[in-house]
Amino acid sequence: MSMSTASAIPAPDLEHLLTLATPADTCRGMFFNGMLEAVRKLGGEEVRARCYVAAGAKRYVDFFSYPVADFLKAVFTAADLLGPKHGGRDAVMTLLGRRATEDFHQSTVGKTMLALAGTDPLRVVNSFPSAFRAAVSYGNRTVEHLGDKQARLQMRRDFLPMAYNEGVLTYSMEQSTAKELVVRGHRLATLDVDYDIRWS
């Protein structure tokens, strides 16, 4: 398995993302809780506490919805604090994306989607748009099939960092029978990214 992030368009920084997100753009509380627990394991309670404050210092209920802007503040804080010891900011983003997906798969909705998709890689890819709709309120995602073992997930108006989403997609595909997996993001605009997914 390998991941490679490539883009001629620079990734937006946190301040830019916060100007684009509205109060209607939300994600589930489980992602706050999972991210904070992952941060605690990676960096200890002090780092977790700083991310908790960055997120707004609330009690997050797993299936309630909260502003994605608050989530972004915590994720970027985690990447800055943990990056020096864990391979850089993008590597931390990828780890947090993997953790978020693991938590989602353990939820009732996630388990149902996993059961429907099974272990067939194409079916897992096809499940991505509905999985994201269950997890976040914003954006649009469509799947383009490029062959028997290649597909492109087109994500439009998506706020999460590209490396984070690569972690999400990679972890999901690893639950299938896909081998020699490659997930590669290509940024088309500030909030628009295509993710090419290949396997054998």
Kindly give the confidence (pLDDT) of every residue in the chain, 200 residues in length, as a single tens digit, with 9 standing for 90 and above: 444 444 568 899 999 999 999 999 999 999 999 999 999 999 999 999 999 999 999 999 988 999 999 999 999 999 999 999 999 999 999 999 998 888 888 887 777 877 787 889 999 999 999 989 989 999 999 999 999 999 999 999 999 999 999 999 999 999 999 999 999 999 999 999 999 999 99
Q: Are 129 and 156 in contact (CB under 8 A)?
A: no
- Which pLDDT belongs to residue 100? 87
| Mean pLDDT of the residues in the chain | 92
pTM metric for this prediction: 0.91
Of 124, 128, 134, nearest to 199 by C-alpha is: 124
Q: How far apart are CA 195 and CA 200, in angstroms?
A: 17
Q: Where are the domains of the chain?
A: 24-198
CATH fold of the domain at 24-198: H-NOX domain (3.90.1520)
